[in-house]
A and B are shown apart, each in its own frame.
Chain A
Amino acid sequence: MSQETDILEEVTSGEYKYGWVSDIEQEIIPIGLNEDVVRLISAKKNEPEFMLEWRLKAFRQWEKMKEPTWANVHYPPVDFQSISYYAAPKKKKELQSLDEVDPELLRTFDRLGISLDEQKRLSGVAVDAVIDSVSVATTFRHKLAELGVIFCSMSEALQEHPELVRKYLGSVVPAADNYYAALNSAVFSDGSFCYIPKGVRCPMELSTYFRINAANTGQFERTLIVAEEGSYVSYLEGCTAPMRDENQLHAAVVEILALDNAEVKYSTVQNWYPGDKNGKGGIYNFVTKRGLCAGRKSKISWTQVETGSAITWKYPSVVLKGDNSVGEFYSVAVTNNFQQADTGTKMMHIGKNTRSLIVSKGISAGKSQNSYRGLVRINKTAKNARNFSQCDSLLLGDKCGAHTFPYLEISQKDSVVEHEATTSKIGEDILFYCNQRGLDTEEAVSLIVNGFSREVLNQLPMEFAVEAQKLLAISLEGSVG
């Protein structure tokens, strides 16, 4: 019951509550992008030579590429020369433990509801916190290290395990995969690196928290998760940003590699600043996420709750290469006010007996546009492949839009592919029922939306599920009645 009261309270107060700016001393490089900037970023991070070359190669490719325009989103062109590509909290010395982290920074994470300290003691979730593209603290590292699990920031990984990074970086999302991935490859400043050795079941959930803090910066982080044979890991990601009038760019890349019998569960609650009620400001979230089930019986599962960002452009995909591998995609995307989301997934079936499941729930309110865009491809080689997709859209208001663009490409006769999509609004009868049981309309809508999204929310780890439910309610505040 108390939880519901919480929701109600949040609903009534519900503006974007992560919109403050932390007063941390920061180091920001001048705006603009050219080869020197790429070199500067690499030098600042003291990276090995191969990394710089990789970045430069990506940058040269990016220069030749064109910004994609096929997504069902509209925004003024991004000026890539007016963004600073590196902003980091100033580091005074090497940190040995959390106690040495800038207290202002820790307060920042406290306010975000992820007290690194507390998390460390109580919940047993290992957290890597990334602020403006640079990892500031990773908890539980040493405990994980005992099992051979490597969980650290990308910069640290490059210093301490360059051979692993070199081997796996770009193996799932090549440097010049697409426009934003190429940009990311050239300028990414940090991110998380997870390596789960053979046969290890990671004992705790690994979590990364991303925050954009500085103005006029873009955030470009790169996450790489490698699950060796027979390993398991559950990885969580959260993100917020201050409220600013101008749009900020977030172009991340996440790569997941699962070898034989490995399983990776990736959950994210995306809550970047969505802009104000008039559509001013907000984050452009142009993200490439892809998993490769390289091994037999491997499994990659994406769960996402998308409530933030002015514009979302995101298609977490799974390449099902290993025989009997499994890909899953669970998504709730909520758009309100002037938000635009074009999100979905790709399931590429290559191996035999591969299976994929897509559950996508889109909720549009206000004047927002919400699109599902998905691809299911069954290659000739994918004998007995199986896919089921369910895409439902809920419309709350007559000024918003819900769109579905599924692509099914099937070249295997022994495969079974099913796709279903529905679009509707909340039935008057259901609302009436709730009302006559004593719930006001806003509560009723919150209840119904949660029910509508339940299938996806159930996939989230506990702490996230609670947060996600609240987020749903907040995002839709004011959209009813």
Chain B
Amino acid sequence: MSASAPETDLTAKVVAAFKQYEQTLNGAAETPLHAIRRSALDQFVQLGFPTPRNEEWKYTNVAPITRRDYRLAAQPQATDINAEFVRSLVPAGLDADLLVFVDGWYKADLSSLSAQAGLEIHNLGASAPHGAQPAQQLAADTDGFVALNTALALDGAIITVRAGVELARPILLLYISDVQAGDAMSALRCVVHLEANAKAQFIELNAARGDGHSLQSRVAEMRVAQGARLDHIMLQNQAAQNYQHNYTRVDQERDSLYRNVVAALGGGFVRNDLSIALNGEGAHADMFGLSMLNDREFVDNHTLVDHRVPNCTSNELYKGIYDDRSVGVFNGKIIVRPDAQKTNAFQSNRNVLLSDGATINTKPQLEIFADDVKCSHGATSGQFDADALFYLRSRGLSTEAARTILMHAFAVEVLDQVPVEALRLHLEHQLSSSTSFDV
């Protein structure tokens, strides 16, 4: 092992857990998938957890979340999480196929699948060979977190939607950490493939049971083939002791459409990396994000849109409302490659600070190597419009009520982009209940 970076305790722990897992493999240790995992582990040990010296982690300090003594299971653990608890997590009125993972392991007994035609779901743990290919794609690039995930994600979902199939029901992926008995860390991997002209909606929801600290690492690789459309919604509303790192890699082919909506309404540490490669002409990517934080919550949204071919478009809108001592980070990068003429890329990041302790660090970035393009970005930070507040107050509303209405109006621009109605209502309800005044 070529160790160079100083090891944190967690790094040592990860290595130990990996070795322990390796011993349980017997003959399977020589499979290609395991070779990938082993080299990813080496890579992780070399890279270590990212530090703020790494430009992509400039505003994001992971030291506090990597210092804890997490339980790290190399095998599915017994859990008493039951169907009732799972039901309590599912947004009301949402009719979806449900895949439940506890501490990174698929739980068939808690999941409910309706056997939709044209939809194939495997879990990575059971059908390892499928996982080999995709894991290889990511192993080389990015940072320590992704390498960690490649090494440790022993389970996850491999989902294929067959050509031309339009799924009638969304798929809800529920990631639960069981931290009743103490801190726990988990890693899982999702591989999604929408074949030509397929249409699907994916929803991801992170949750925890118990008061311990959780750290969830999720890497998703999504392929959206020609003419396909994928809606991808991420719901993140956890407590201060819950941490998560999500890395999403999307490859889009000709005339495909991908839409990501991330609603980060809470969490002690949330890092979302969204990297989209537009590989076929006519592809379009939409990215929307809403962060609404208070206390000492932290959310970091990193997006990268790589316009590799001509005639693609991308559109991005991230909004944030930050109260108390919360911190928001936005980093949006648009790359237009030399041949990607006629690119149209738009990016906007709008923030409201409600308290002097709150901070927003934003870095909208354009890297453009083609000339016949239209690219723009805007970033703002400010308060709610004083005139609007005054108008509402003159209509007899209290300052607090007026603020809540404005906050709601600010957030709704993003929530309106959620294509599943039950979810949209669920989010609006969460929004109302997180503000002190009910609109």
Interface residues of A (CB under 8 A from B): 70, 378, 380, 393, 395-425
Q: A425 is contacted by which of B55, B366, B369, B373 (Cβ under 8 Å)?
A: B373
Closest 5 CB pairs of A and B: A395-B371, A413-B353, A416-B382, A404-B366, A422-B376
In the complex, besides A397-B371, A414-B356, 13 extra interface pairs with C-beta distance below 8 angstroms are A400-B369, A407-B363, A408-B361, A409-B360, A410-B353, A410-B359, A411-B356, A411-B358, A416-B382, A416-B383, A419-B380, A423-B368, A423-B373
Q: Tell me how far the C-beta of A310 lies from the nearest C-beta in chain B, rounded to whole angstroms.
A: 20
Residue among B356, B357, B379 facing the most chain A CB atoms (10 A cut-off): B379
Residue among A401, A405, A423 facing the most chain B CB atoms (10 A cut-off): A423
Q: Tell me how far the C-beta of A112 lies from the nearest C-beta in chain B, rounded to whole angstroms.
A: 34
Q: Tell me how far the C-beta of B395 lies from the nearest C-beta in chain A, rounded to whole angstroms.
A: 25
List, in ascending order, chain A residues with CB within 8 A of B381's CB.
Answer: 378, 408, 410, 415-417
Give complex CA distance A395, B364 in Å.
19
Residue among A393, A411, A416 facing the most chain B CB atoms (10 A cut-off): A411
Q: Tell me how far the C-beta of B376 lies from the nearest C-beta in chain A, rounded to whole angstroms.
A: 4
Q: What residue in chain B is nearest A407 (Cβ atoms)?
A: B363
List, in ascending order, chain A residues with CB within 8 A of B363's CB.
Answer: 405-408
Q: What residue in chain B is nearest A365 (Cβ atoms)?
A: B371
List, in ascending order, chain A residues with CB within 8 A of B59's CB.
Answer: 409
18 contacting pairs across A/B (C-beta < 8 A):
A396-B371, A398-B341, A403-B366, A404-B367, A406-B363, A408-B361, A409-B361, A410-B359, A410-B361, A410-B381, A411-B353, A413-B383, A417-B382, A419-B380, A421-B364, A421-B376, A423-B368, A425-B373
Give complex CA distance A395, B338 in Å.
12
B374 at the interface (CB under 8 A from A): yes
A393 touches B356 (CB 8 A): no
Q: B359 is contacted by which of A70, A402, A411 (Cβ under 8 Å)?
A: A411
Answer whether A422 and B368 are a contact pair too, CB < 8 Å, given A398-B338, A410-B351, A413-B356. no
B426 at the interface (CB under 8 A from A): no
List, in ascending order, chain B residues with CB within 8 A of A396's CB.
Answer: 371
A398 touches B353 (CB 8 A): no
Q: B358 is contacted by which of A398, A409, A413, A420 (Cβ under 8 Å)?
A: A413
The A-B contact count (CB < 8 A) is: 118
A405 touches B356 (CB 8 A): no
List, in ascending order, chain B residues with CB within 8 A of A413's CB.
Answer: 353-356, 358, 383
Q: Tell me how far the C-beta of B180 lies from the nearest C-beta in chain A, rounded to whole angstroms.
A: 37
List, in ascending order, chain A residues with CB within 8 A of B362's CB.
Answer: 407-408, 410
List, in ascending order, chain A residues with CB within 8 A of B351's CB.
Answer: 410
Q: What residue in chain B is nearest A396 (Cβ atoms)?
A: B371
Give complex CA distance A417, B360 in Å.
11
Determine chain A's interface SS by DSSP, over half rule.
strand
Digitize B48-67: 1 where CB-to-A-CB distance is under 8 Å, 0 elsewhere: 00000001000100000000
B372 at the interface (CB under 8 A from A): yes
Answer whether A418 and B380 are a contact pair too, CB < 8 Å, given A398-B372, A423-B375. yes
B370 at the interface (CB under 8 A from A): yes
Q: A404 is contacted by which of B338, B354, B377 (Cβ under 8 Å)?
A: B377
Give complex CA distance A186, B76 in Å.
63
Answer whether A420 and B378 are a contact pair too, CB < 8 Å, given A395-B371, A400-B371, A402-B368. yes
Answer whether A404 and B380 are a contact pair too, CB < 8 Å, given A380-B356, A410-B359, A423-B373. no
Q: A407 is contacted by which of B338, B357, B358, B361 (Cβ under 8 Å)?
A: B361
Give complex CA distance A391, B35 in Å.
47
Give complex CA distance A412, B356 in Å.
5
A402 touches B366 (CB 8 A): yes
Q: What residue in chain A is nearest B365 (Cβ atoms)?
A: A405
List, in ascending order, chain B residues with CB within 8 A of A393's CB.
Answer: 366, 368
List, in ascending order, chain A residues with CB within 8 A of B373's CB.
Answer: 395, 423-425
List, in ascending order, chain A residues with CB within 8 A of B367's CB.
Answer: 401, 403-404
Answer whether A421 and B378 are a contact pair too, CB < 8 Å, given A380-B356, A403-B366, A408-B362. yes
Give complex CA distance A283, B377 in Å.
32
Q: Tell me how far the C-beta of A379 lies from the nearest C-beta in chain B, rounded to whole angstroms.
A: 10
List, in ascending order, chain A residues with CB within 8 A of B371's CB.
Answer: 395-398, 400, 425
Give complex CA distance A414, B356 in Å.
8
Give complex CA distance A406, B377 in Å.
10
List, in ascending order, chain A residues with CB within 8 A of B369's CB.
Answer: 400-401
List, in ascending order, chain A residues with CB within 8 A of B376's CB.
Answer: 420-423
Answer whether A409 and B359 are a contact pair too, CB < 8 Å, given A398-B338, A399-B338, A424-B374. yes
A422 touches B359 (CB 8 A): no
Q: Tell me how far the C-beta of B348 lies from the nearest C-beta in chain A, rounded to whole angstroms.
A: 10
Q: What residue in chain B is nearest A70 (Cβ atoms)?
A: B55
Q: What residue in chain B is nearest A380 (Cβ atoms)?
A: B356
A421 touches B368 (CB 8 A): no
List, in ascending order, chain B residues with CB within 8 A of A400's CB.
Answer: 369, 371
Q: What residue in chain B is nearest A414 (Cβ atoms)?
A: B383
Q: What residue in chain A is nearest B380 (Cβ atoms)?
A: A418
List, in ascending order, chain A residues with CB within 8 A of B359's CB.
Answer: 409-411
Q: What residue in chain B is nearest A383 (Cβ atoms)?
A: B356
List, in ascending order, chain A residues with CB within 8 A of B366's CB.
Answer: 393, 402-404, 421, 423
Q: A406 is contacted by which of B356, B364, B368, B374 (Cβ under 8 Å)?
A: B364
Q: Tell me how far the C-beta of A325 lies from the nearest C-beta in chain B, rounded to whole angstroms.
A: 20
Give complex CA distance A403, B367 in Å.
4
Q: Which of B313-366 contact A (CB under 8 A)?
A: 338, 341, 351, 353-366
Give complex CA distance A405, B367 in Å.
8
List, in ascending order, chain B residues with CB within 8 A of A420's CB.
Answer: 376-378
Q: What residue in chain A is nearest B355 (Cβ atoms)?
A: A413
Give complex CA distance A411, B327 in Å.
9
A424 touches B356 (CB 8 A): no
Q: Tell me how far the C-beta of B364 lies from the nearest C-beta in chain A, rounded to whole angstroms.
A: 6
Give complex CA distance A410, B349 in Å.
13
Give complex CA distance A405, B334 in Å.
11
Q: What residue in chain B is nearest A398 (Cβ atoms)?
A: B371
List, in ascending order, chain B residues with CB within 8 A of A412's CB.
Answer: 353, 356
Give complex CA distance A413, B328 in Å.
13
Answer whether A410 and B360 are a contact pair too, CB < 8 Å, given A395-B371, A405-B365, A420-B376. yes
Q: What residue in chain A is nearest B333 (Cβ atoms)?
A: A405
Answer whether A403 and B368 are a contact pair too, CB < 8 Å, given A398-B338, A416-B383. yes
Q: What residue in chain B is nearest A399 (Cβ atoms)?
A: B338
Q: Tell me how far the C-beta of A70 lies from the nearest C-beta in chain B, rounded to whole angstroms.
A: 7
List, in ascending order, chain B residues with CB within 8 A of A419's CB.
Answer: 364, 377-380
List, in ascending order, chain A residues with CB within 8 A of B354's CB.
Answer: 413
Q: Tell me how far the C-beta of A371 lies from the nearest C-beta in chain B, rounded to whole angstroms.
A: 8
